[in-house]
Structure 1
Amino acid sequence: MNQRLFIVFEGIDSSGKTTQAELLKNSLIANQQQAVISPEPSNGIIGNLIRQALKKRIIFSKEQDLFDQQMAYLFAADRHDHLYNDVDGVFKLIKDNYHVISTRYYFSSLAYNCDTVEQFNFIQKLNDRFPNPDLTIYLDIPIEVSLARLQERSLQEIYETKAKLTKVKEQYQQIFTAYQGKAIAIDGTQDQQQIHQTIVAQVQAITKA
């Protein structure tokens, strides 16, 4: 397994991205591979600003369209830093012989920050120079499952409503239907270990190709 990969997990809220990312990282390390989880929003300055906005501790605009547009700009700026910074950027880590696993990438911006074709085209243009991951894993769960899992949290974020998640799920389906890169969709309601084994098999297939 000489090839170092940039792997992205996508899905609506509480689809299991963090859990599966951690399982994959541990599996790679157990097989004598260096691996790290590097999420979006990132842990950098812009990423922390985004996290505060998602928790409603910062209000950029009370008008939803303007808020989504502002968030789209911030996510794109954070994504550039996430990929290219010289300290812990994705490509710096890959150069240092790490597999990099991200929970969310530009697919999330396309799914969460637009409701119209015009908005979609705007966000797509903001992100069209970012490279595709080596593998994208879309964890698909019903809206009802997402909402039930979210109820267990003490604090919900601004996009965690039934109406918003329904729209996001529709957007994801359109995105991955048209996507030309390497991606797989997995039923996120399956047993965690079953999902994990499917993912490991996909990663091994890429590294052995």
Structure 2
Amino acid sequence: MARGQLILVEGLDRTGKTTQTELLINRLKPNVELIKFPKRDTPIGKIINEYLTNANYVLPDQSVHLLFSANRWEVKDQITKLLNEGKNVILDRYVYSGVAYSAAKETPGMNWQWCFAPDKGLLRPDLTLFLTHSDSRGQAQRDGFGEERYEVGSFQDKVKSQFETLFDKIGNPEEVKLLEVTGKSIEEVGAMVWNQVQTRLNCPNDEFKYF
């Protein structure tokens, strides 16, 4: 049995990432599993959820970053098992987000290299789709923006810059596809996403890759 494909959907906040992930899941049913990071129902994930939703919960930036990385390691074996069973696994956020958001804080000593180090050895997605928007300030006006501590327009600009650095330094052009969603409808973006996913599914790869 050929293993399933590991497909990552990344994006800045409020670029329609979750909507597109749900559409993709519906297209791939029943042979698909969704894993959203941070995975908040694990022991470490519960700590992360408290941090994200409670402004009074203070932790050092270094500790927060290592918690997010540990959360990804918590689920590594589960992902591998699903793929070996032939399931396609869709990830909603993963290593790139973890590194970009932490490095964007500009905490002394926490450059992208430091932030990336704990994730070395995790599974590398077969396909990464990054939804990007040229108007991050306009996106900040969308309903619900600002409900969690990282949803601030100026911070999102820094996050976008870090994503670009990561794709250049550790990304593979054959695996990472940037999708510009500015001015596009949900259906138009969905067609772009599906086109990339279909291409990936038509070129299966049985070997696992690692960061």
TM bin, normalised by shorter chain, reads 0.7 to 0.9
Partner secondary structure for residue 109 of structure 1: helix
| 1:139 counterpart residue number | 131
Distance 1:104 1:198 in 2: 18
Distance 1:104 1:176 in 2: 14
Counterpart among 199, 202, 209 of residue 205 in structure 1:
199
Residues 52 and 58 of structure 1 are in contact (CA less than 8 Å); yes or no, is this contact kept in structure 2? no
Partner secondary structure for residue 107 of structure 1: helix
Aligned length: 195
Trace 1:79-118 onto structure 2 (pairs within 5 A).
79-84=72-77, 89-114=78-103, 115=106, 118=109
Identity between Structure 1 and Structure 2 (%): 27
Distance 1:95 1:36 in 2: 13
| 1:164 counterpart residue number | 155
| 2:181 counterpart residue number | 188
1:39 maps to 2:68: no
Counterpart among 175, 179, 188 of residue 166 in structure 2:
175
Distance 1:145 1:154 in 2: 11
Across the aligned residues of Structure 1 and Structure 2, the Cα RMSD in angstroms comes to 2.1
| TM-score (normalizing by structure 1) | 0.85
Distance 1:107 1:50 in 2: 17
Q: Displacement of 1:163 after TM fit?
A: 2.3
Residues 132 and 180 of structure 2 are in contact (CA less than 8 Å); yes or no, is this contact kept in structure 1? yes
Structure 1 stretches lacking a partner, 5+ long: none
Residues 3 and 207 of structure 1 are in contact (CA less than 8 Å); yes or no, is this contact kept in structure 2? no
Distance 2:66 2:121 in 1: 14
Q: Displacement of 1:23 after TM fit?
A: 0.4
Counterpart among 62, 71, 78 of residue 78 in structure 1:
71
Whichever residue aligns with residue 83 of structure 1, its letter is: K
More deviation, 169-178/113-122: 113-122
Distance 1:188 1:116 in 2: 30
Distance 1:166 1:183 in 2: 20
Map Cα deviations across residues 155-179 of structure 1 (whole Å, 9 max, x no partner): 6111111221111111112112333
Pick the structure with more helix per residue.
1
| TM-score (normalizing by structure 2) | 0.84
Moved over 6 A (4+): none
